[in-house]
Structure 1
Amino acid sequence: MTIHLLGIRHHGVGSARRVQERLTEIQPDLILVEGPPELTEILHWTAHKDLQPPVAVLAYDAEEPQKAVFYPFVEYSPEWVAVQYAHQHAVTVRMTDMPLLHSLAKEEAPKIDSLQKEESPEREISPLHTLAELAGYETYHDWWEERFEQDPRIGDSAAYFEAVQLTMETARAASTHPTPEQDAIREAFMRQHIREAQKEGFTNIAVVCGAWHVPALTDLKTTKKEDTPLVKGLPKAKVRLTWIPWTNTRMSWWSGYGAGIHSPGWYEHRWYQPEDRGEQWLTRVARLFRRQKMDVSTAHIIEAFRLADSLATLRNLPRPGLNELNEATQSVMCMGDGILMRLVEKELIVAHRMGQVPDELPKLPIQTDFETIAKKLRLEIREETKFLELDLRKDLDLSRSIFLHRLRVLDVPWGSLTGISGKGTFKEGWQLRWSPEAILQLIEKAIWGNRIEDAATQYLLDQTQRSTSITELAQKLEAAIPAELFGVLDGLIHKISELATVSADMQELMMALQPLVTVSRYGSVRKTDLSTLMQVVEGLLTRICIGLPTACYGLDDENARRMLGLIRQVDESVRLLERESLVQAWRDTLWILATKEHLPALITGGSTRLLFDSKVLEEELMTQRFERALSKGNEPSESAAWLEGFLSGSGLILLYDPALWKLLYTWVAELAGETFMELLPVLRRTFATFEVAERRKLGEKAKQPPVTLETAVQTSWAEGEFNWERAEASLSPMKALLGLN
């Protein structure tokens, strides 16, 4: 009875090739591959012609789908190679590890939100890091990659796995840290599975597992008694499994095997071109640059290869690795420009690639509905970012918009709205980018319905019943209209009206107005009757107009600034409504805010500016209020706050109104030095909101004392600069243009 322990690095190209060689040599009657045993029941799908890597097993808790874990596979994964060998040679293959029914039941079970980009995903293995440092490497990963994955000098596959086992035995023996409890349980299950296989009569067993676990699997007899308590009494969960498409970029995420890779495109190249010393890789790089209209010749490729080969020799490497090839590419082809290497990283080192799974793979009804609709609407599910411009007057684009909005309601991260040039509500811009996590969100929402529309409706109804925030409900209404979830509209509008009637929170009422007004603009495009909603908007605005002046009393600087932002937001919403009665009521409220005593100066100044921009406040009266706000009788801090409210966001008025500029210039010039320094942060904050061009022009204008237009003209005449002949010559064409001839 023989047990062959094949220690590998997950997704290691060299490990995969060695596993392939060793399995051919030993011809096992059973292959045990590291992974939860539940995966065994779906391994037969790996023989299907339409299951094309990169793919992953998605395992999740049926009752809490957010408790999930991914097990990704690519062609060069040693686990994938072992499973494919088993299929091709009719060998029994099973997974061996801690069952998911236990690991997902633990309180600290991984959640989809906790998945992260790998920086250093594996446990800190001090002895191995020490070995790497002694060999001259900064990290254990680089050392393993070059000395085990790429180095052909170890010999045959048997010698290779012996070297791996010896290295790990030495490292574990030298480790001063006890084995983590989770690892101890996992290794106990692995040993138990090997014992069970022996009892079943298998005599030539190959175990493909992470190299670190190999020493723990050599002793099956003395550890039997210790393993029993470790595998008993563990919590249990109801587990569901499915195959999903994976992507190269997601290969750098870690979950499941706990090991990601940063260069899947490079690994794929090495898997299919094992003899390449860099010539073919550099040729691919050159072709990429040529497609970008860059001048790259054959000589560039030759010189880059020579440099990479020389670097490998200097570093005592058997052949150039990715680091050497990248350095040579940057030096020779990019002329030292590191920015161009980002293109190489994106297109070749990572390489956009997305796997696929068979259509007949068992799926939840909501997944099937999603795929059917996406196919019908010709929305391609792919990893690369795609920008989509929709014209809602067209049936296909309108259907696409409805579908994407329903996915947003379900929190499925596929499409996000983007800004789009042009006016009107019939245009929508979307940015689409598929991620495997979206499937998990679909699965999580399956409890609400078997179809996308049903699930979105029920999910939104549930959220409506739970919510007590007017703003939150208004946002949900804003999401429901373009998604055409008409079954929830009446309930949402009724609850918003109900809460608005009793709410005393003025800021919440103001925040809720904008999404409600935005929704009202969809009426003509979406063919939706929103008359009831307009009644709610009118009632909401009426309450705001009545209560806003009182709500502004006694606000500190921070809350006054927040309130002014909401006032501007309401003003913008009222402009969109284009209803004279509502506009007039709001302007009356702004007048109160601009003229009432003892209100925060910031709000008074901001309200004055809104009235002026609306052409309610005449220029002469506005100048008087500006002069009064900056008069010497006011506290400088109050004047600065009024000025901040009036000018915040746009300084054009100072460029085109000489009178206001002169008032501001004089006020600043007459400030005492100490007072000026105290007010400088406020002034700086105010002017920082201007456009760069505005600030530059104001800076140039401030270099000269202010003058009025009349004074400037008189000065020009006095200095004899006025050219009467040129002025007289312009009279004839001016009369012709004005029709005065």
Structure 2
Amino acid sequence: MTQTVEARVEVMGVRHHGPGSARAVVAGLDALEPDVVLIEGPADCDHLVPFAAGGRLVPPVAMLAAVADDPATSSFWPFAEFSPEWQALVWATARGVPVRFVDLPAGAVLAARAAQDAAAGEHAGDPEGDGEHEDGDGDGERTDAGGDGERTDAGGDGERTGGDAERTDVDRDAPGAADGVVPWTDDGPTSPAAVRRDPVAALAAAAGYDDPERWWEDVVESRTDGPTPFAVITEAMAALRAAAPEADEHEARREAHMRLQLRAALKAGHRRVAVVCGAWHAPALTTPLPPAAGDARLLTGLAKKKVTLTWVPWTSSRLARASGYGAGITSPGWYEHLFRTDRDVVASWLVQVGAALREKDLPVSSAHVIEAVRLAETLATVRGRHLPGLAEVTEATRAVLCDGDDALVAHVTAQLVVGERLGEIGDDVPTVPLDADLRATARRLRLAFSAAPRTLELDLRRDHDLARSRLLHRLTLLGVPWGQADEARSRSTGTFREAWSLVWRPELAVAVVEAALWGTTVEAAATARCVDRAADADLRELTGLLEVALLADLAAATGPLLGRVDEQAAHDGDIGRLMAALPPLVRAHRYSDVRGTGTADLARVADALLARICAGLAAAVTGLDDEAASALRGQVDATHAAVRLRDDPDGLRAWLGTLRAVADRADISGALTGRATRLLLDAGELDADEVRARMGQHLSYGTPARTQAAWVDGFLAGGGLLLAHDRALLGVVDDWLATLPTDAFTDALPLLRRTFGAMPPAERRNVGDAAVAVPASGRGPAASTTVAVDADLAAGPLRTVALLLGATR
């Protein structure tokens, strides 16, 4: 007669990203030797489990789920090396033990979110993510459009950030909580409403702590030995759940789904089952389980979306609460150190701190480190802690190694306590074709994905650097800003060079998935995206797109874009838009030879635009007030720079003739006539004597002061140093200012302050020094003026001044 072996189910309630929990999970798995491991996580991600074996994934990494027809709706499930779930994955895959994710499928989570967003009438949806109640124990970190609007609800059964209550999952018993006795109150961390939001705060309060994180570190993260705490954790959570409000529908469905998966594992014949889940859920998964019929009813009609699932790299800093991640922790670097280090935890940590400070050329010796260790241990003893925690270590670092300098402490925090390390994924990990092409191209061009900012200097005369530039421009066009162009540095190093700042952020993985809708390769996707944007773009946007298309070497997009530009330019009569469209065209044509792209048609379109601008500018400047004229002045400057860059004698001659016509007019704003005069002077079309005559005419008596000031502002904008070199010109301005009536001076002063305030300090100083030597008439050395002083009348004030200055007379 065969005896049936009773199934053994051990529920391991953990804190996500907790090194103490991770250590306890490994010990619990070693003791149980389960024949199946069930992990809280989206049930449709089981096919991603095998990639955790063999070092193909280097944490931190995250599972990414994105809706197939709307990739902007997506979620992350991050894992660090010290995450209990990750250690369970590694333990099981290394031993060939089956692993199952048992939480609601990602397709159901994202379907619920999409429905909620639709009901709310906005794509951003619930600020806490996927309809979660305030418990925040979400289903993955949510990002919208892979961009700055990151929304999180992730990973964290029982973890929440963003409020004054922060919830964490528990992996070790709390003093006074084992017997379920909790001092409930009407408010504060132990009120029934707050317990579901922040169970650790309730346990910490029961233990006499006012800081939940301090309690957690004392009882869990700092301990490296002792029995697994899961039974006591489950008992404590059961007591908390009994007093907390009932779960919302989403949490109830999650727990129902996990129970169904547990029943399925038992039905399949597994006799030793390990369940790794957030501690808040542990009581709901402990056997005996409630009837399956109730769970089935809860899950009836559960909507699902078709989703794309893959692994993506994550960063240490994204595990930190400061990044906005819902299940975040304050110190991922410190937690990783706790997980990896079995002995001399504090000493080895402070050795790393000393090394980090020495990199900043600070004199940190071994004696400093020894003294810091002693101080941290003493602080722990005084505070009744069995081991120093991060608070004691940080205070010892500040006092001994940083001499009280908070800036240095911040450096240590950023580099070590939080850290900035990007995970890695293997080439065989499933992903969208566009991402595979991007990674293959990056490898070929020797561009490493890194979370640390990196400056990249490119010489476009080299084929390798030119290919890098094209890739970065294509990604920018696709909305995947891996690199940010440093325009100032690029301009300062010549037309053959570009400067980029590269930093890879996890949310860019979502942007890549979104961009995959446009094509399977970076070039094809960028081309399709460019042509699509051109369909609804105005003339200025079109020429900007054309410039980027040439920089990105998108030959298939250049023809359609040129056709659209030609068409728009022929029908657009707005001079402002025509002037805004010219500079990108000219830059694209001027620098085309550097990149080896054919742009013969660009010159024709640019010349046609310039002809229309020259013909229409006179009418466009008529009737503009000073504010509108100042706005148009910037476009005149940009057009002038573009014409000079074009280096076409006929076009330059036509443009300078247009500027002279503007400068000669007396019926338009001085902001434009003054600017036209200055541009003609810089181009050599007017000599200094003629400019001084024009200035004297516009600053003559009878012209309103504000009109005169507008002319000066237009003339001097962008280059006041001219006054320091032309003393006669400075004399004209000086005489004008000296003869302004008080009311007129007050009226013109704001504009003059803006004019001279915009000059660099050195320029203003040079103009001021030159003004000292300018004669009142502007035609000779300043005459000295002698003023007769009555000695008797001056004696009293002089004695007072001498007394104030401490002098004797």
- TM-score in terms of structure 2 length: 0.81
Identity percentage over the alignment? Answer: 40
Deviates more, 1:470-479 or 1:699-708: 699-708
Q: Could you give the per-residue CA deviations for residues 456-508 of structure 1, whole angstroms, max 9, x where no partner exists?
A: 223322222x2231111111111111222112212111110100110122222
Residue number in structure 1 paired with 2:52? 46
Whichever structure has more helix as a proportion of its residues is 1
Please say if residues 405 and 479 of structure 1, whose CA atoms lie closer than 8 Å, have aligned partners that are also in contact. yes
Which of 25, 29, 32 is 1:23 aligned to? Answer: 29
Q: How many residue pairs were aligned?
A: 711
- Offset, 1:536: 0.5
- Offset, 1:2: 4.5
Distance 1:669 1:52, change over 3 A: same
CA distance in structure 2 between the partners assigned to 1:170 and 1:505 by the alignment: 72
Which of 102, 109, 115 is 2:150 aligned to? Answer: 115
Residue number in structure 2 paired with 1:730? none
Please say if residues 680 and 686 of structure 2, whose CA atoms lie closer than 8 Å, have aligned partners that are also in contact. yes
Please say if residues 391 and 397 of structure 1, whose CA atoms lie closer than 8 Å, have aligned partners that are also in contact. yes
Residue number in structure 2 paired with 1:335? 403
Partner amino acid for 1:444? E
The yes-or-no answer on 1:624 pairing with 2:697 is no
CA distance in structure 2 between the partners assigned to 1:63 and 1:268 by the alignment: 37
Q: Could you give the per-residue CA deviations for residues 67-86 of structure 1, whole angstroms, max 9, x where no partner exists?
A: 22222222211001112222
Please say if residues 650 and 689 of structure 1, whose CA atoms lie closer than 8 Å, have aligned partners that are also in contact. no
Distance 1:715 1:637, change over 3 A: closer
CA distance in structure 2 between the partners assigned to 1:678 and 1:713 by the alignment: 28
CA distance in structure 2 between the partners assigned to 1:67 and 1:250 by the alignment: 19
Distance 1:693 1:669, change over 3 A: same
SS in 2 for 1:75: coil
The yes-or-no answer on 1:304 pairing with 2:372 is yes
SS in 1 for 2:70: coil
Within 5 Å, which residues of 2 pair with 1:117-516? 120=161, 126-127=194-195, 128=198, 129=201, 132=204, 140-150=212-222, 156-157=227-228, 160-175=229-244, 179-218=247-286, 224=292, 226-252=294-320, 258-418=326-486, 419-420=489-490, 422=492, 424-464=494-534, 466-516=535-585
Q: Could you give the per-residue CA deviations for residues 10-64 of structure 1, whole angstroms, max 9, x where no partner exists?
A: 1111111122222333333432211110122211221123322222212211222
Please say if residues 253 and 260 of structure 1, whose CA atoms lie closer than 8 Å, have aligned partners that are also in contact. yes
Residue number in structure 1 paired with 2:798? none
CA distance in structure 1 between the partners assigned to 2:447 and 2:543 by the alignment: 29
Please say if residues 425 and 521 of structure 1, whose CA atoms lie closer than 8 Å, have aligned partners that are also in contact. no
Residue number in structure 2 paired with 1:74? 80
CA distance in structure 2 between the partners assigned to 1:644 and 1:223 by the alignment: 83
Q: Could you give the per-residue CA deviations for residues 680-709 of structure 1, whole angstroms, max 9, x where no partner exists?
A: 332222222100112334455667774578
Partner amino acid for 1:663? V
Please say if residues 605 and 644 of structure 1, whose CA atoms lie closer than 8 Å, have aligned partners that are also in contact. yes
Deviates more, 1:578-587 or 1:192-201: 192-201
Please say if residues 38 and 100 of structure 1, whose CA atoms lie closer than 8 Å, have aligned partners that are also in contact. yes
CA distance in structure 2 between the partners assigned to 1:470 and 1:416 by the alignment: 25
Partner amino acid for 2:704? E
Which of 635, 638, 654 is 1:569 aligned to? Answer: 638
Structure 2 unaligned blocks of 5 or more: 1-6, 118-129, 131-141, 154-159, 168-193, 786-809
Deviates more, 1:124-133 or 1:189-198: 124-133
Distance 1:102 1:698, change over 3 A: same
CA distance in structure 1 between the partners assigned to 2:621 and 2:248 by the alignment: 59
Residue number in structure 2 paired with 1:723? none
Distance 1:156 1:301, change over 3 A: same
Distance 1:182 1:704, change over 3 A: farther
Please say if residues 658 and 708 of structure 1, whose CA atoms lie closer than 8 Å, have aligned partners that are also in contact. no
CA distance in structure 1 between the partners assigned to 2:670 and 2:569 by the alignment: 29
- Offset, 1:141: 4.0
Please say if residues 282 and 301 of structure 1, whose CA atoms lie closer than 8 Å, have aligned partners that are also in contact. yes
CA distance in structure 2 between the partners assigned to 1:345 and 1:523 by the alignment: 47
Distance 1:631 1:317, change over 3 A: farther
SS in 2 for 1:711: coil
Please say if residues 415 and 432 of structure 1, whose CA atoms lie closer than 8 Å, have aligned partners that are also in contact. yes
Partner amino acid for 1:18? A
Please say if residues 20 and 224 of structure 2, whose CA atoms lie closer than 8 Å, have aligned partners that are also in contact. no
Which of 520, 525, 535 is 2:589 aligned to? Answer: 520
Please say if residues 61 and 238 of structure 1, whose CA atoms lie closer than 8 Å, have aligned partners that are also in contact. yes
Q: Could you give the per-residue CA deviations for residues 133-152 of structure 1, whole angstroms, max 9, x where no partner exists?
A: 78786764444334433357
Please say if residues 474 and 522 of structure 2, whose CA atoms lie closer than 8 Å, have aligned partners that are also in contact. yes
- Offset, 1:590: 1.6
Structure 1 unaligned blocks of 5 or more: 717-741
Runs of 4+ in 1 over 6 A off after TM superposition: 133-138, 253-257, 713-716
- Offset, 1:644: 2.0
Please say if residues 407 and 452 of structure 1, whose CA atoms lie closer than 8 Å, have aligned partners that are also in contact. yes
CA distance in structure 2 between the partners assigned to 1:500 and 1:89 by the alignment: 68
Distance 1:470 1:218, change over 3 A: same
Partner amino acid for 1:275? R
RMSD after superposition: 3.0
Please say if residues 10 and 257 of structure 1, whose CA atoms lie closer than 8 Å, have aligned partners that are also in contact. no
- Offset, 1:549: 2.4
CA distance in structure 1 between the partners assigned to 2:509 and 2:425 by the alignment: 13
SS in 1 for 2:551: coil
Partner amino acid for 1:580? P
CA distance in structure 2 between the partners assigned to 1:512 and 1:185 by the alignment: 56
Distance 1:558 1:331, change over 3 A: farther
SS in 2 for 1:58: strand
Distance 1:174 1:506, change over 3 A: farther
Partner amino acid for 1:309? E
Partner amino acid for 1:156? P
CA distance in structure 2 between the partners assigned to 1:197 and 1:256 by the alignment: 36
Residue number in structure 1 paired with 2:607? 538
The yes-or-no answer on 1:549 pairing with 2:618 is yes
CA distance in structure 2 between the partners assigned to 1:423 and 1:39 by the alignment: 49
Deviates more, 1:342-351 or 1:570-579: 342-351
- TM-score in terms of structure 1 length: 0.88
Deviates more, 1:178-187 or 1:395-404: 178-187
Residue number in structure 2 paired with 1:584? 653
Distance 1:513 1:314, change over 3 A: farther
Please say if residues 775 and 783 of structure 2, whose CA atoms lie closer than 8 Å, have aligned partners that are also in contact. no
Partner amino acid for 2:658? T
Q: Could you give the per-residue CA deviations for residues 159-208 of structure 1, whole angstroms, max 9, x where no partner exists?
A: x33443344344444546x6444333323322332333344344443322
